[in-house]
Structure 1
Amino acid sequence: MKGVSAVLFALFLAIQHKPILAYKAAVLEYYPETGESPQATIKKNIEAYSTYADKAKSQSADILVFPEYGLTTIVSDPTDYAVDLTDDKTDSVLTKLSNMALERQIYMVVNLLEKEQESKTATKYYNTDLVLDKNGAVILKYRKINLFQEDMLTPGDANQTQTFTTTFGVTFGIFTGYDILFDNPSRKVFKSSDVTDIVYPSAWTSFMPFLTSLSTQQGYTTANGINLLAASYGKPKEGHGGSGIFLPNGKAAELYIADSASSKVVIQEVTKISSREEKSVCSGRTPFGLPGDLNKSNVTNYKTNKIFDSSRYKFEKVDMSLNNSTLEVCHCDFCCTFDIILSESFVHSSAIYKVAAFDGIVEIDDTNHHVRICSLLACENDSNDSCGNRLESTNTKFTKLTVKGNLKREDKTFYVPITVDAFLLPIQQTKFCNNHNETNSAYVELTTLQAQADVLVFGLLGKTVSAASSVHALGFFVLVAFTILKLVVF
């Protein structure tokens, strides 16, 4: 009997110390409420947050991510909305948030506007994320570094801490909205080799063809081989919305996008990973032609403006009468190749697709950057200007798509996938690799694994680490900076 007891006791200990292989994540797509005053607006939204925190906790979520500008609505003047984080009164915003996390024993990531008094006459304002642990303590404060048309805010310190480790054994990185386009912080965060997951509050505004919300999130996740928890501001009629929990292989545990202002908490189990998924190995053969996913979203009223100057791109038209074709397109000496297999029974006679390439200097808020793009684009008609338009359907199915090339990276260009279908969803059934062993070039490839219908965008977007010295060719980013007349926050 003693021997049996010892075995049972050992088994009990093994169960008690079994490693946790997954955690429960929650992200909130949220359309904020508005009160009669800034303080009333914040109060209403804190009360709403409390309800969503209850929903997350009822499903055993370990961490809940709220969106950018969720407490305040998107405002150009932060003066009356900003919070003094040194205020520890019982009715302060910080105290309410702290109690919310403590009472539910859940990690929370909350974005707010912060004010910091520098002197009697000088106040600085920041776009700030707070990470609260299960005890309600603020374990990290991250201030958004890359602001876009947030003229009254101060950028965060470029060298600030942007990682935290949880009691459920995951080390997260954090950044906000527009930050995702920049090496600092979106790539710099991986200087800590322990970072495997990212929390991402956003109030992104979607633009066709290369800057839609879910495509940007999925492309970043796929290229970096991490888990991403993305929570977005939900106002589709102004181009805001698109949240999800993304996995290292580019698939999503769950996505949410709507065509009307709405709020929804997305909760899914996320498998823990010990390190970022390796993307440097390009397998020789990949399966293809399997039926694609049938999930579709209603995005009829989701507004997407278009930012695309076709005169600066080089195009090649796809011959839709060929079931199997290979095209190379070059802009100067930047070239990429497309392998295209069409589904014979699902090709509309009027469908027009072109492949495009761009390699040039673009300007983002008075700073010059180098951007490289190779993409298949659906076109409304033969005009290059019509390529990249939002189309309800193309009535065309591809059995397989591949974009590839030995692409330049002498300036440490980092490539990410960009894919969009007619429902503003990214293409999840893909294989991506970036074999960047060479000093001045990298073999980059993106291939579909399943048949895909209604494809609007399928390509690669390369962004360099350092700013360029002069503007000799302007692309889509410069149009963002100078053609949007009202406040748009990414």
Structure 2
Amino acid sequence: MKGVSAVLFALFLAIQHKPILAYKAAVLEYYSITGDSPQTTIKKNLEAYSIYADTAKSQSVDILVFPEYGLTTIVSDPTDYAVDLTDSSADSVLTKLSNIASERQIYVVVNLLEKERESNTATKYYNTDLVLDKNGAVILKYRKINLFQEDMLTPGDANQTQTFTTTFGVTFGIFTGYDILFHYPSRNIFKNSDVTDVVYSSAWTSYMPFLTSLSTQQGYTTANGINLLAASYGRPKEGHGGSGIFLPNGKAAELYIADSASTKIIIQEVPKISSRAEKSVCSGITPFGLPGNLNKSNVINYKTYTIFDSSRYNFKNVDMSQRTSTLDVCHSGFCCTFEITLDVSSVVSSDIYKLAAFDGIVKIDDTNHHVRICSLLACENDSNDSCGNRLESTNTKFTKLTAKGNLKREDKTFYVPITVDSFLLPMQQTKFCNNRNETNSTYVELTTLQAQTDVLVFGLLGKTVSAAASVHALGFFVLVAFIIVKSVAI
């Protein structure tokens, strides 16, 4: 009997100390409430945040991420909306946020506008993320480094702390909105080798063909081999929205995008990864099968802007009558190879696709940026100018697509996949690799693992550094090169 008791006790201990293989995360796609004053606006949104935190608690969530500008709405003047984080009074914003976290025992990531008085006359304003632990303590304050159309704000220090570790055993990186396009911080966070997951608050504005929200998020996630918790400001009629929980294998636990202002909490279990998934190995065999369910939703009224200077690209037509094609497209010695297999029975005369390539310097805000891209693009007609626009649907079914090449590589050069379909979703069944073993080149490959329909964009995007670039240009992905004019804050 004693032997049986010992065995049972040992089994109990083993169960008690069994490693936790996943954590539960929540991200909030949120359309802010507007009050009759800045203070009322913040108060109403704090009250709404508490309700969604209750929902998260009821499902045993470990970490909850709120979007950029969720507390304030998107405002250009922070003066009356900014929070003094030294105010710890019972009625302060910081105290209320602390209560949201501590009363529900949840890690909370929240974005706000912060003010800091440096002297009797000078006040600086920041776009700030706070990370609060389960006891309501602020364990990290991160100030957005790369501002876009936020002229009254001060950039955060590129050397500030950008990572935190939780009691459920995951080390996160953190950045905000436009930051995802820059080396500092979106690549710099991996100097901490323990970082396997990233929390990301955004008020992103979607641009076709290369800057839509979900494809940018998934491209970053896939290329870096991490989990990404992305919470977006939801105002689709002005180009904002697209949230999700992304996994490192080219899939997403759940995505959300809509065509009308709405709020949606996404709650999913996220498998823990022991280290970032290296993308340097390109296997020789790639299986593929039938299309999967991508949970496509109506996005007809989701506004996307189009910024695409076709005159600077080299194009090559895709022969839609050929079942299989292998085509090279080059610009200034930068070349990619596309392998295309399509179901010719699905093709109609209105379906036009072209390959496009670009390698060069683009000047934005008096800063030179060296950018590279090669992509398959759906076109409205034979004109190159019609490529890269948003189409409601296409008939063509691609059985398999591959974009690859030994691509130019300099210090800090980094490539990401970018894919968009007619529903503004990225392809979830893909394989990506980036073999960074060579000095002057890197073999990069993106391949679909399922047949694909409604394809608008499929390609590889790279960023590099021009000699004249500023620190902000160090991390520019190629896609931002096409923001020739300023519009809405990202």
| Coarse TM-score class (shorter-chain normalised) | over 0.9
Structure-2 change in CA distance of 1:269 and 1:81 (3 Å): same
| Structure-2 residue corresponding to 1:229 | 229
Q: Which residue number corresponds to residue 297 of structure 1? A: 297
5 Å matches for 1:187-202? 187-202=187-202
Q: Which residue of 2 aligns with 1:41?
A: 41
**Runs of 5+ unmatched residues, structure 2:** none
Superposed CA RMSD? 1.4
Instruction: Give the equivalent residue in structure 1 for 2:155.
Output: 155
Alpha-carbon distance in 2 for matches of 1:135, 1:277: 32
Q: How does 1:243-254 map to 2 (within 5 A)?
A: 243-254=243-254
Correspondence list, 1:409-420, <5 A: 409-420=409-420
- TM-score normalized by structure 1? 0.97
Counterpart position of 1:17 = 17
Corresponding position of 1:374: 374
Task: Output the CA distance in 2 between the equivalents of 1:109 and 1:239.
Answer: 23
The Cα offsets for residues 357-394 of structure 1, whole Å up to 9 and x where unpaired, read as 01011234432221110100000000000000100011
How does 1:52-451 map onto structure 2 within 5 Å?
A: 52-293=52-293, 295-451=295-451
- Structure 1 gaps of 5+ residues are none
- Asked if structure 2 preserves the Cα contact closer than 8 Å seen for 1:307 and 1:476, the reply is no
From the superposition, tell whether residues 419 and 478 of structure 1 become closer, same or farther in structure 2 (CA, over 3 Å): closer
Distance 1:326 1:478, change over 3 A: closer
How much does 1:134 deviate? 0.2
How much has 1:469 moved relative to structure 2?
5.0
Shift of 1:2: 1.1
| AA at the equivalent of 1:315 | F
2:342 touches 2:398 (CA, 8 Å); kept in 1? yes
2:464 aligns to what? 464
- Aligned residue for 2:29? 29
Cα deviation, 1:27-58, whole Å, max 9, x if unaligned, reads 00000000010000000000000010011111
* CA drift at 1:476: 6.5
Contact 1:307-1:479 at 8 Å conserved across structures: yes
**Stretch of structure 1 that moved more, 362-371 or 305-314:** 362-371
For 1:483, what is the secondary structure of its paired residue?
coil
The residue type equivalent to 1:483 in the other structure is V
Asked if 1 retains the 8 angstrom alpha-carbon contact of 2:368 and 2:466, the reply is: no
User: In structure 1, what residue type is equivalent to 2:440?
Assistant: N
TM value normalised by structure 2: 0.97
How far apart, in 2, do the equivalents of 1:139 and 1:466 lie?
37
Alignment partners' CA distance in 1, 2:365 and 2:20: 44
Say if 1:289 and 1:324 are closer, same or farther in 2 by CA, change over 3 A.
Answer: farther
CA contact (8 A) 1:367 1:467 kept: no
Partner Cα separation in structure 1 for residue 100 and residue 260 of structure 2: 28
CA contact (8 A) 2:131 2:140 kept: yes
Distance, in Å, in 2 between the alignment partners of 1:263 and 1:469 is 39
Q: Aligned in 2, Cα 1:208/1:318: closer, same or farther, shift over 3 Å?
A: same
CA spacing shift, 1:264–1:294, aligned 2, 3 Å: closer
**Secondary structure of the corresponding residue to residue 52 of structure 2:** helix
CA distance in 1, matches of 2:446, 2:18: 38
Cα distance, 1:349 vs structure 2: 2.4
Work out the CA distance in 2 between the residues paired with 1:213 and 1:102: 32
In 2, Cα distance between the equivalents of 1:294 and 1:417? 18
Tell me the matched-pair count. 484
Q: Is the 8 A contact 1:308 1:476 kept in 2?
A: no
8 A contact 1:393–1:454 mirrored in 2: yes
* Cα pair 1:363 1:477 within 8 Å, conserved: no
CA distance in structure 2 between the aligned counterparts of 1:177 and 1:364, rounded to whole angstroms: 18
Cα drift, residue 427 of structure 1: 0.5
- Residue 483 of structure 1 is matched in structure 2 by 485
Asked if structure 2 preserves the Cα contact closer than 8 Å seen for 1:403 and 1:459, the reply is: yes
- Residues 1:462 and 1:301: Cα distance change in structure 2 (over 3 Å): same
SS across alignment from 2:437: coil
Within 1, Cα distance between the matches of 2:382 and 2:457? 17
Deviation at 1:477, TM superposition (A): 3.6
Which AA in structure 1 matches 2:77? D
Aligned partners of 1:364 and 1:477 also within 8 Å: no
Cα pair distance change 1:294/1:250, threshold 3 Å: closer
